[in-house]
Amino acid sequence: MAVAVAAARFGGPSRGLGQAGLLLLRRLGDRRLPRSQPRRLQQQHFSSLDDKPQFPGASAEFIDKLEFIQPNVISGIPIYRVMDRQGQIINPSEDPHLPQEKVLKFYKSMTLLNTMDRILYESQRQGRISFYMTNYGEEGTHVGSAAALDNTDLVFGQYREAGVLMYRDYPLEKFMAQCYGNVNDLGKGRQMPVHYGCRERHFVTISSPLATQIPQAVGAAYAAKRANANRIVICYFGEGAASEGDAHAGFNFAATLECPIIFFCRNNGYAISTPTSEQYRGDGIAARGPGYGILSIRVDGNDVFAVYNATKEARRRAVAENQPFLIEAMTYRIGHHSTSDDSSAYRSVDEVNYWDKQDHPISRLRHYMQSHGWWDDEQEKAWRKQSRKKVMEAFEQAERKLKPNPKLLFSDVYQEMPAQLRKQQESLARHLQTYGEHYPLDHFEQ
């Protein structure tokens, strides 16, 4: 320290010490360090076998052979399942042994969603609503995961998770109100169809841009951890969204901050028209988890019990251990990506028919129920008729409702409306006052 002070006095760091300064430093050094005890570091010597890496960024050993790591370190991550395609339990120890009433709720939620999809899809084709996205073939991923959660767990969806809300008893009237954008829509008609949200059911409103929900979900999970809330966050996304930068940022933040979150990837084979063979070269999405330090599993997404078991265990450990989990549910998107897509342009009818007829999550669960004597053809026929009636009643009710007041376009964003936004509101009011006869204003609430 004294040496440093002397150096500063003789000109500081920006100037040379000069001969006098060097002489003084030598004398100071001679006084503090006796010649009989030279100040030298003793270097330790290790044999090549005992030499251990000390780099802070990785846990590894040295090797003396040049070798690149192969993309598939193991020969394909296995797919966990409980039922075969005929609804038979493969390993009795993995049977969740759910009561009949719960399994019936699984089935009715999945089939009611399927019925709603068919009616709203046709509604769009008839010009009654502007847009729609079906959930055909992926019902098992929604219901199996939703059933394993606590009702207070926070859900961040992408746009194909309506079954999660369905299982949480979200009313059909609210589904219809959102798609029609009428006065009963919780979003007041300001979102495009299928962008659901419900605070009471802890379902965050869906956003259109892919993967934006992933880092948001991690932030919510971190907040839950800091609050000791004893809850988790589940974040749904498709394998296509996993290619977005937000996914990688979210995975890394969740791992390093040790957040209680389940990343639930629906790998349905296509990102709109892009098949998985053109999306990635690695072993799917589950293979990415270990690279971030995330416990990961791949499940049969068409097996509702496999999805349920995996999500339930991931939730238990996420709460107990404050760490993230990644579940990759392998499934198949039977329907078009949306009403703006024609999937016949990039896949065959035979391919779609196979998954629809041979490996559908609804038919698999129906086989299970029938083998237990919990369901038969008469009950199936009666339920299909009843579910269609329920959907049609909500559909007709939604169509009769007025649209929200146009003034609501400008509310609920700022506590105090900025001058620029107020100017736009006034401009719209003047426009409608002058040209209102050209608009169907009688369809809007006044």
In this predicted structure, what is the pLDDT of residue 319?
97
* Of 14, 37, 9, the residue nearest 24 (C-alpha): 9
User: What are the residue ranges spanned by the domains of the chain?
Assistant: 92-340+348-400, 406-443
Q: What is the CATH number of domain 92-340+348-400?
A: 3.40.50.970
Provide mean pLDDT across the span 217-233.
Answer: 97
State the average pLDDT for the chain: 90
In this predicted structure, what is the pLDDT of residue 443?
95
- Residue from 195, 337, 360, 387 carrying the catalytic annotation: 337
Instruction: Reply yes or no on whether 122 is catalytic.
Output: yes
pLDDT tens-digit map of 136-167? 999 999 999 999 999 999 999 999 999 999 99
In this predicted structure, what is the pLDDT of residue 56?
85
Distance CA 135, CA 194 (A): 11
* Of 208, 214, 182, 212, the residue nearest 194 (C-alpha): 208
In this predicted structure, what is the pLDDT of residue 21?
46
In this predicted structure, what is the pLDDT of residue 3?
42
Q: Confidence band (pLDDT; 50, 70, 90) for 51?
A: confident
Rg (CA), the chain: 31
- Residue from 122, 321, 396, 426 carrying the catalytic annotation: 122
In this predicted structure, what is the pLDDT of residue 42?
54
Contact status, residue 361 vs residue 163, Cβ threshold 8 Å? no
Provide mean pLDDT across the span 81-87.
Answer: 97
Residue 221 has pLDDT above 60, yes or no: yes
Instruction: Reply yes or no on whether 296 is catalytic.
Output: no
Q: Is 208 in a helix, a strand, or coil?
A: coil
Instruction: Reply yes or no on whether 208 is catalytic.
Output: yes
Residue 342 has pLDDT above 70, yes or no: yes
- Residue from 130, 208, 411, 427 carrying the catalytic annotation: 208
Residue 214: strand pairing partners: none
In this predicted structure, what is the pLDDT of residue 71?
75
In this predicted structure, what is the pLDDT of residue 35?
45
- Residue from 338, 343, 360, 387 carrying the catalytic annotation: 338
In this predicted structure, what is the pLDDT of residue 61?
86
Residue 375 has pLDDT above 60, yes or no: yes
Query: What share of the chain in percent tops pLDDT 70?
Result: 88
Contact status, residue 417 vs residue 410, Cβ threshold 8 Å? yes
| Measured CA distances, 430 to 324, 424, 426 (Å) | 53, 10, 6
Residue 33 has pLDDT above 80, yes or no: no
36-75 burial: b if 16+ Cβ within 10 Å, else e: eeeeeeeeeeeeeeeeeeeeeeeeeeeeeeeeeeeeeeee
Residue 10 has pLDDT above 50, yes or no: no
